[in-house]
Chains A and B, each alone.
Chain A
Amino acid sequence: MSKVAAPVKGNGKSLKELNRAVIRFAGDSGDGMQLTGEQFTTESAWAGNDIATLPNFPAEIRAPAGTLFGVSSFQLQFGSQRVYTPGDRLDCLVAMNPAALKVHLRDLKTGGLLIVNTQAFDKRNLDKAGYATSPLEDPALGERYRLHRVDMSALTHEAIKDLPLNTKEKDRTKNFFALGLVSWIYTRPLEPTLDWIQKKFAKNKDIAEANTRVLKAGHAYGETAEIFGEHYTVEPAEMAPGLYRAMTGNRALAWGILAAAQRATVPVVYGAYPITPASDILHELALHKRFRVRTIQAEDEIAAVAAAIGASFGGAIGVTASSGPGIALKGEGIGLAVTAELPLVVFDIQRGGPSTGLPTKTEQADLMQALYGRNSEAPVVVLAPATPGDCFFVAYEAVRIAAKYMVPVMVLSDGFLANGSEPWLIPDPDSLPPIEIQFRTEKEGFFPYLRDPATLGRPWVRPGTPGLEHRIGGIEKQDVTGNISYDPENHDHMVRTRAEKVRRVAQEIPPTSINGPATGDLLVVGWGGTYGAITAAVERAQAEGTSVASVHLRHLNPLPPDLGHILREYRKVLVPEINSGQLVRVLRAEYLVDAVGFNRVRGLPLASDEIYDALIQLLGSQA
Chain B
Amino acid sequence: MSPGGAEAKEAPKYTKKDFESDQDVRWCPGCGDYAILSAIQKSMPDLGIPREDIVFISGIGCSSRFPYYMNTYGFHTIHGRAPAIATGLRVARPDLKIFVVTGDGDGLSIGGNHLLHVLRRNVNVTILLFNNRIYGLTKGQYSPTSELGKITKSTPAGSADRPVNPLAFALGCGGTFVARTVDRNIQHMEEMLRRAAHHKGTGFLEILQNCNVYNDLAWNVMYDKESKLRYELRLEHGKPLLFGPPDDRRAVIMRGVVPTVVGAKDVPESALWIHDEQNVNAAKLLADLFAPDFPVPIGVLAAVEGPVYEEIMLQQEQKAISERGPGDIAKLLTSGDTWQIS
Q: Judging by beta carbons under 8 Å apart, are B75 and A292 in contact?
A: no
Whether A243 touches B77, Cβ cut-off 8 Å, given contacts A290-B327, A310-B92, A314-B96, is no
B92 and A48: CB pair below 8 A?
Answer: no
Evaluate whether A243 and B338 lie within 8 angstroms (CB atoms) in the complex, with A292-B327, A471-B21 already known: yes
CB 8 Å contact bits of A335-373 with B (1 = contact, 0 = none): 110001000000000000000000000000000000000
A290-B321, A298-B84 are known contacts. Are A314 and B93 too (CB-CB below 8 A)? yes
A315 contacts chain B at the CB level, 8 A cutoff: yes
**Set of chain B residues within 8 Å of A302, measured between Cβ atoms:** 81, 84, 114
For A258, what are the chain B residues with a Cβ–Cβ distance below 8 Å?
327, 329, 332
Tell me whether B256 is interfacial, beta carbon within 8 Å.
Answer: no
Query: Which residues of A have CB within 8 Å of B280?
Result: none
- Answer whether residue A42 sits at the interface, using C-beta atoms and an 8 A cutoff: yes
Given known contacts A289-B316, A465-B52, A309 and B77 CB-to-CB distance under 8 angstroms:
yes
Chain A contacts of B52 at CB under 8 A?
463-469
The answer to whether A236 has its CB under 8 Å from any CB of chain B is: yes
Residues of A within 8 A of B336 (CB): 245
What 0/1 pattern do residues 276 to 320 of A give for CB contact below 8 A with B? 000000000000111110101011101100111111011110100
- A428 to chain B: which residues have CB within 8 Å? 330
Q: Are A426 and B50 in contact (CB under 8 A)?
A: no
A130 within 8 A of B: no
- Would you call A239 an interface residue if the criterion is a C-beta within 8 Å of the partner chain's C-beta atoms? yes
B76 and A475 contact, CB distance less than 8 A: yes
Q: Tell me the bound Cα distance from A3 to B113 in angstroms.
A: 51
Q: Considering only CB atoms, which chain B residue lies closest to A310 in the complex?
A: B88
List B contacts of A307 (CB < 8 A): 84-85, 87-88, 91
Q: Which residues of B contact A1 (CB under 8 A)?
A: 337-338
Given contacts A2-B340, A4-B339, A303-B114, contact A464 B84 (CB under 8 A): no
B residues near A335, Cβ cutoff 8 Å: 78
- Closest A residue to B340 by beta carbon equals A2
Residue of B nearest to A288 (CB): B327
Interface string of B319-338 (1 = CB under 8 A from A): 01100111111101110111
Taken residue by residue from 466 to 497, chain A's Cβ proximity to chain B (1 for < 8 Å, 0 otherwise) reads as: 11111111110000000110000000000000
Size of the chain B interface, CB-CB below 8 angstroms: 60
Instruction: Decide yes or no whether A192 CB sits under 8 A from chain B.
Output: yes
Contact status A3-B339, CB under 8 Å: yes
State the Cβ distance, B173 to closest chain A Cβ, in Å: 11
A255-B332 contact given A310-B88, A469-B72, CB 8 Å threshold: yes
Given contacts A289-B316, A303-B114, A310-B87, contact A471 B76 (CB under 8 A): yes
Q: Would you call A306 and B340 a contact (CB within 8 A)?
A: no
- Please name the residue on chain B nearest to A50 by beta carbon: B341
Flag if B116 contacts A463 (CB, 8 Å): no
State A290–B325 Cα separation when bound (angstroms).
Answer: 7
Contacts of A240 in B (CB 8 A): 341
Minimal Cβ-Cβ distance residue in B for A426 = B333
- Residue from A291, A471, A473 with most neighbouring chain B CB atoms (10 Å): A471
In the bound complex, what is the Cα–Cα distance between A314 and B257 (angstroms)?
Answer: 46
Given contacts A236-B341, A429-B329, A463-B73, contact A289 B89 (CB under 8 A): no
Tell me which of A291, A311, A469, A484 has the highest count of chain B C-beta atoms within 10 A of its own C-beta: A469
Interface centre among A246, A296, A316 (most CB of B within 10 A): A296
B317 at the interface (CB under 8 A from A): yes
B93 and A299 form a contact (CB under 8 A):
no
Tell me if B23 counts as interface (CB < 8 A to partner A): yes
Interface membership of A45, Cβ < 8 A: yes
User: Are A473 and B76 neighbours in the complex by a CB distance under 8 Å?
Assistant: yes
For A48, A245, A289, A298, the residue with the greatest tally of chain B CB atoms inside 10 Å of its CB is A289
Which residues on the B side are within 8 Å of A483 (C-beta)?
23
Shortest distance between the CB of B7 and any CB in chain A (Å): 9
Is A242 in the interface zone, CB < 8 Å from B?
yes
B95:A306 contact, CB within 8 angstroms: no
From known contacts A246-B337, A288-B332, A426-B333, infer whether A316 and B324 are also in contact, taking CB-CB under 8 Å. Answer: no
Report how far A246 CA is from B333 CA in the complex, Å.
11
Of all chain A residues, which has the CB nearest B328? A262
Chain A residues closer than 8 Å to B86, beta-carbon distance? 310
Contacts of A291 in B (CB 8 A): 326-327, 329
Q: Determine how close the nearest CB of chain B comes to the CB of A43; give it in whole angstroms.
A: 11
A340 to chain B, nearest CB (A): 7
A521 interface hit (Cβ, 8 Å):
no
| Residue-wise interface mask of A (206-250) relative to B, using a CB-CB cutoff of 8 A (1 in contact, 0 not) | 000000000000000000000000000000100111111110000
- Assess whether A271 is interfacial by the CB under 8 Å rule: yes
Q: How many A-B residue pairs have CB under 8 A?
A: 219
* Known A242-B340, A298-B84, A426-B334; contact A332-B78, beta-carbon cutoff 8 A: yes
**Across the two chains, which residue of chain B brings its CB closest to A483?**
B23
Chain A residue nearest to B325 (CB atoms) is A290
Using CB atoms, name the residue of chain A closest to B50: A466
B332: chain A residues within 8 A (beta carbon): 255, 258, 288
Closest Cβ of chain B to A294, distance in Å, is 5
Question: Bound complex: CA of A421 vs CA of B229, how far in Å?
Answer: 73
Residues in B with CB closer than 8 Å to A325 are none
- On whether the beta carbons of A243 and B113 are closer than 8 Å, the reply is no
In the complex, A255→B72 CA distance in Å? 36
A540 vs B300: C-alpha distance when bound (angstroms): 76
Contacts A464-B52, A474-B78 given: A259-B87 contact, CB under 8 Å?
no
| Residue B313, interface by CB 8 Å | yes
How far apart are B72's CB and chain A's nearest CB, in angstroms?
5
How many angstroms from the CA of A170 to the CA of B77 in the assembled complex?
57
| A267 on interface, CB distance cutoff 8 Å | yes
* Contact between A313 and B85, CB atoms less than 8 A apart: yes
Establish whether residues B78 and A314, one from each chain, have CB atoms under 8 Å apart when the complex forms: no
User: Which of A236, A294, A298, A470 lies in contact with B73, CB distance below 8 A?
Assistant: A470
User: Is B42 positioned at the interface, with any CB of A under 8 Å from its CB?
Assistant: no
Beyond A315-B92, A470-B74, whether A5 also contacts B339 by CB under 8 A is yes
Interface flag for A427 (CB, 8 Å): yes
Complex Cα spacing A40 to B314, Å: 40
Within 8 A of A (CB), among B273-328: 313-314, 316-317, 320-321, 324-328
A471 & B85 in contact (Cβ 8 Å cutoff): no
- Interface residue B55 (Cβ < 8 Å from any Cβ of A): yes
- Is there an interface contact between A42 and B337, defined as CB atoms closer than 8 Å? yes
Cα of A471 to Cα of B76 in the assembled complex, Å: 8
- Residue A101 lies at the interface, judged by CB distance under 8 Å to chain B: no
Q: Is the CB of B53 within 8 A of A463?
A: yes
User: When the two chains form their complex, are residues A4 and B340 in contact, meaning their CB atoms are under 8 A apart?
Assistant: yes
CB of B68 closer than 8 Å to a CB of A = yes
Contacts of A473 in B (CB 8 A): 67-68, 74-77
Decide if B51 is an interface residue (CB 8 Å cutoff): yes
The closest CB in chain A to the CB of B75 belongs to A313
B33-75 CB mask vs A (1 if < 8 Å, else 0) is: 0000000000000000011110101001000000110111111
Given A467-B52, A473-B76 in contact, is the A306-B85 Cβ separation under 8 Å?
yes
B117 within 8 A of A: yes
Taking A290-B321, A306-B77 as contacts, is the C-beta distance between A46 and B57 under 8 angstroms? no
CA distance A340 to B75 in the complex (A): 9
Q: Does A333 contact B (CB under 8 A)?
A: yes
Point out the residues of chain A lying under 8 angstroms from B96, CB to CB: 314, 463-464
Docked pose: A42 CA to B21 CA in angstroms: 62
Task: Knowing A465-B52, A473-B67 are in contact, say whether A245-B91 is a contact too (CB < 8 A).
Answer: no
Of the residues A2, A3, A290, A303, contact of B324 by C-beta under 8 Å: A290
Answer yes or no: B270 CB below 8 A from chain A CBs.
no
Can you list 15 A-B contacts (CB < 8 A)?
A255-B332, A258-B329, A258-B332, A290-B325, A311-B92, A313-B85, A315-B93, A336-B77, A340-B75, A429-B330, A464-B53, A464-B73, A471-B73, A473-B68, A473-B77
Apart from A245-B339, A464-B52, 4 more pairs, CB < 8 Å? A289-B320, A298-B84, A309-B85, A473-B75
Q: Which 4 A/B pairs are nearest by Cβ-Cβ distance?
A: A473-B76, A307-B88, A310-B88, A291-B327
Q: Which residues does B use to contact A, with CB under 8 Å?
A: 21, 23, 50-53, 55, 57, 60, 67-68, 70-78, 81, 84-93, 95-96, 113-114, 116-117, 313-314, 316-317, 320-321, 324-330, 332-334, 336-342
